C-alpha cells in the first residue's frame, strides 16, 4: 500500500523565528565560536536506553549520538521527508515490500566487538517485533542478509511510510548483536557497545556527557563534547540559558507567548513541530471510575479552553483527539462530550455518586501543574474533590506499566502527553488491546478499534484512511476515559551561532547540530 503523508503546518526544524521576549532581563549571552562544548538540557536521567524497552524522548536523543541508523529526517519545502544517514552507502525502496541497504565500510563497534554488519541490522529489527515498541515493526516480516554489509528489509505488506516512521525514529536504532547478547538480551542505562561519533557517561541527577568516540571513523560533529545537564523544570532551564549556562533549551508556553520584536541580540528560536497530543486519562478498571456515567461526568466538567488560556497562555492548538494538526484523520470537534457542568452534575446524580474523591497524577512541570489545578477547580465545582500528585519523570513514566510494579492498580486520573511521527497510524498504536498494561493505561479494549488499526495500515485511499482514524478516536472518546487537551509545539531557544537539528516530535540530534 502507499500511504500519503499530509503537508504539515509546522515550521521546518531549522527555521528560526524572528522575535522572542523570553523573560525580563534576558541577556542572550553569546555562544563562544571557538568552543568545543555544547551545553544542553535533559529533563531527567536516562533510565532505559534499549530501543525495545525505552520510554522515548531523551533516550532517543542519546541513541542518535551513539548508535547507527539507516535513515534520518530531512527538511523539504513540503515539510519532513527522509534521507540516508552516513552509516549507509545505499538505502533504496526496490518495490513496495523490499528495502535494500548497504552499510558503509570501516564502521566498528566499541569494546572490540568488531565491524557494524548486516547481521546487526537483522538482530536489531527482528528483536523489536517482540518488544514494547513492536507496533513500529508490524509491517516488517524479516531482514534478509545478503552479505556482510548488505541486506533487505522485507515487509509483509506494502507500507510506504516505513522508512520515515520507523527507521528515522528511535525504534530504528541498530544495536550490536554480540554486545546485547552478552548483556543478556536487553540493557538499561548504559550502552553495551556504541558505533557513533560519541560515547556516553552519566552522572545520575547531574548530567550526561557525550564525548568523542575514539573508534569513530566517520565525519567529526561540529561540537567535540555535549554536556547535557539534568534540569527537570523548563523554567529553571530558561534561567540557566539566561545566565549563559546553557546554549540551547526547550522553552515554555509562557515564554513563547512573549514572542515580540525585542528578541535579545544573539538569540534565536527554532520550532520543531506540533506532533504532540495531550490528554487527561482515566483508569476504566478503577472501582471509582468503572461506571461510565462517572467518567462522562468528568469529561463534561473540565473546561479545556480555560486550561489553554491559564496554563499555556494561548500558545497551543486545542485537541480533539490523538491525531495532530495537519495529519490525515485530525478532528475539529469532540463527539460525545462538551464543557457542561450541569450535565456533569446530572450524570453523577444518576450514578448515585456523592463526595467522590480522586487523585490526578502529573509530571511536576509548571504547565502540567497549572493544568491539574484547573482540572481540580473544575471538578470541585461539580462536587468532586481532586488531589494533585506531582511526580518526577522516573516514577511518572512507570506508573501505568504492569511490568514496573503495582502502581497501575491505584491510578485514577493522570495527565499524559505523547509525541508521534508524521503519520496517524503511529499515534493509534498505543491503544490497541495488547497495549493494556504497557501504554494503554486507560485499560479498555475494543475489537473494532483493533480491526480498524489493521485496516488503517493497509488502506491506500486517503479519504478512507481519514474516516478510519476519525472513527478510532470516536471509540476512544466513547469510553469516557479521555479529556483531550492540546497539541503543544516543540520550541527551543538557542544561541544564534548554533543551527539546531530536531525531529518533528522534538528530539534533538546533537551530532547534526551545526555552527551558523
pLDDT tens profile 433-492: 999 999 999 999 999 999 999 888 878 788 998 999 999 999 999 999 999 999 988 889
Mean pLDDT, residues 102-131: 98
Show the domains of the chain with their CATH numbers: 52-195 (3.90.76.10), 276-487 (3.10.105.10)
Q: Compute the distance between CA of residue 123 and CA of residue 133 in angstroms, rounded to an integer.
A: 15
- Burial of 12-38, coded b for 16+ CB within 10 Å and e otherwise, reads bbbebeeebebeeebebbebeeeeeeb
Using one digit for the tens of pLDDT, what is the confidence trace for 376-435?
999 999 999 999 999 998 899 999 999 999 999 999 999 999 988 878 888 999 999 999
Using one digit for the tens of pLDDT, what is the confidence trace for 209-218?
999 999 999 9
Mean pLDDT, residues 250-261: 73
- What pLDDT is attached to residue 262? 66
pLDDT above 60 (res 116):
yes
- What pLDDT is attached to residue 79? 55
Q: Report the DSSP beta bridge partners of residue 76.
A: 79
pLDDT above 90 (res 2):
no
Confidence of residue 254 (pLDDT cuts 50, 70, 90): confident
Using one digit for the tens of pLDDT, what is the confidence trace for 21-64?
333 333 333 344 444 899 999 999 999 999 999 988 889 999 99
| Burial group, residue 70, by CB count within 10 angstroms (0-12, 13-18, 19+) | buried
Sequence-distant (6+) residues with CB within 8 A of 1 are 96, 157, 158, 159, 160, 457, 458, 459, 460
- What pLDDT is attached to residue 23? 35
* pTM of this structure: 0.69
Give the HSE-up count for residue 159: Cα atoms under 13 Å, Cβ half-sphere: 25
Confidence of residue 264 (pLDDT cuts 50, 70, 90): confident
- What pLDDT is attached to residue 258? 72
Return the higher-pLDDT residue of 499 and 75: 499
The one-character DSSP state at 5 is P
Q: Compute the distance between CA of residue 100 and CA of residue 81 in angstroms, rounded to an integer.
A: 18
Average pLDDT score over the chain: 89
Backbone angles phi, psi at 94, to 5 degrees: -65, -40
**Cα–Cα distances in angstroms (integers) from residue 45 to residues 196, 206, 414, in the given order:** 21, 8, 22
Confidence of residue 14 (pLDDT cuts 50, 70, 90): very low
Amino acid at each position: 500500500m502507499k500511504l500519503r503523508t499530509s503537508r504539515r503546518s509546522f515550521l521546518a526544524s531549522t527555521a528560526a523565528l524572528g522575535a522572542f521576549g523570553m523573560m525580563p532581563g534576558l541577556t542572550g549571552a553569546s555562544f563562544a565560536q571557538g568552543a568545543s562544548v555544547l551545553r544542553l538540557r535533559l529533563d531527567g536521567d536516562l533510565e532505559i536506553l534499549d530501543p525495545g524497552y525505552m520510554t522515548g524522548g531523551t533516550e532517543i536523543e542519546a541513541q542518535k549520538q551513539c548508535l547507527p541508523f539507516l535513515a534520518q529526517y530531512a527538511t523539504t519545502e513540503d515539510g519532513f521527508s527522509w534521507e540516508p544517514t552516513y552509516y549507509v552507502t545505499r538505502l533504496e525502496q526496490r518495490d513496495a515490500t523490499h528495502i535494500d541497504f548497504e552499510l558503509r565500510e570501516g564502521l566498528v563497534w566499541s569494546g572490540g566487538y568488531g565491524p557494524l554488519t548486516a547481521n546487526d541490522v537483522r538482530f536489531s529489527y527482528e528483536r523489536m517485533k517482540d518488544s514494547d515498541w513492536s507496533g513500529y515493526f508490524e509491517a516488517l516480516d524479516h531482514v534478509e542478509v545478503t552479505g556482510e554489509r548488505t541486506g533487505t528489509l522485507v515487509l509483509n505488506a506494502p507500507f510506504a511510510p516505513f522508512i520515515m516512521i520507523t527507521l528515522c525514529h528511535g525504534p530504528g536504532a541498530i544495536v550490536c548483536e554480540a554486545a546485547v547478547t552478552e548483556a543478556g538480551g536487553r540493557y538499561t542505562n548504559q550502552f553495551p557497545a556504541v558505533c557513533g561519533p560519541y560515547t556516553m557517561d552519566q552522572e545520575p541527577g547531574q548530567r550526561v556527557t557525550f564525548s568523542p568516540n575514539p573508534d569513530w571513523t566517520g565525519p567529526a560533529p561540529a561540537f567535540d563534547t555535549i554536556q547535557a545537564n539534568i534540569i527537570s523544570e523548563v523554567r529553571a532551564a530558561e534561567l540557566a540559558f539566561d545566565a549563559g549556562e546553557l546554549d540551547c533549551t526547550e522553552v515554555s508556553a509562557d515564554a513563547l507567548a512573549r514572542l515580540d520584536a525585542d528578541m535579545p541580540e544573539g538569540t534565536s528560536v527554532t520550532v520543531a513541530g506540533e506532533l504532540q497530543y495531550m490528554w487527561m486519562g482515566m483508569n476504566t478498571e478503577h472501582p471509582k471510575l468503572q461506571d461510565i456515567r462517572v467518567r462522562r461526568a468528568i469529561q463534561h466538567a473540565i473546561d479545556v479552553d480555560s486550561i489553554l488560556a491559564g496554563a499555556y497562555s494561548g500558545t497551543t492548538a486545542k485537541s480533539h483527539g490523538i491525531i495532530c494538526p495537519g495529519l490525515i484523520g485530525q478532528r475539529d470537534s469532540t463527539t460525545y462530550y462538551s464543557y457542561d457542568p450541569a450535565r456533569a452534575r446530572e450524570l453523577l446524580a444518576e450514578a448515585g455518586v456523592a463526595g467522590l474523591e480522586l487523585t490526578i497524577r502529573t509530571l511536576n512541570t509548571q504547565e502540567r501543574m497549572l493544568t491539574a489545578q484547573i482540572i481540580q477547580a473544575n471538578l470541585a465545582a461539580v462536587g468532586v474533590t481532586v488531589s494533585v500528585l506531582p511526580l518526577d519523570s522516573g516514577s511518572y513514566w512507570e506508573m501505568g506499566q504492569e511490568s514496573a510494579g503495582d502502581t497501575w492498580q491505584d491510578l485514577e486520573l493522570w495527565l499524559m502527553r505523547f509525541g508521534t511521527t508524521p503519520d496517524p497510524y503511529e499515534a493509534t498504536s498505543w491503544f490497541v488491546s495488547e497495549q493494556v498494561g504497557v501504554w494503554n493505561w486507560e485499560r479498555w479494549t475494543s475489537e473494532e478499534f483493533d480491526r480498524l488499526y489493521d485496516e488503517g495500515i493497509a488502506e491506500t485511499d486517503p479519504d478512507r484512511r481519514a474516516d478510519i482514524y476519525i472513527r478510532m478516536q470516536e471509540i476512544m472518546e466513547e469510553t469516557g476515559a479521555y479529556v483531550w487537551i492540546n497539541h503543544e509545539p516543540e520550541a527551543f531557544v538557542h544561541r544564534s551561532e548554533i543551527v539546531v537539528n530536531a525531529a518533528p516530535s522534538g528530539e534533538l540530534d546533537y551530532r547534526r547540530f551545526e555552527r551558523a
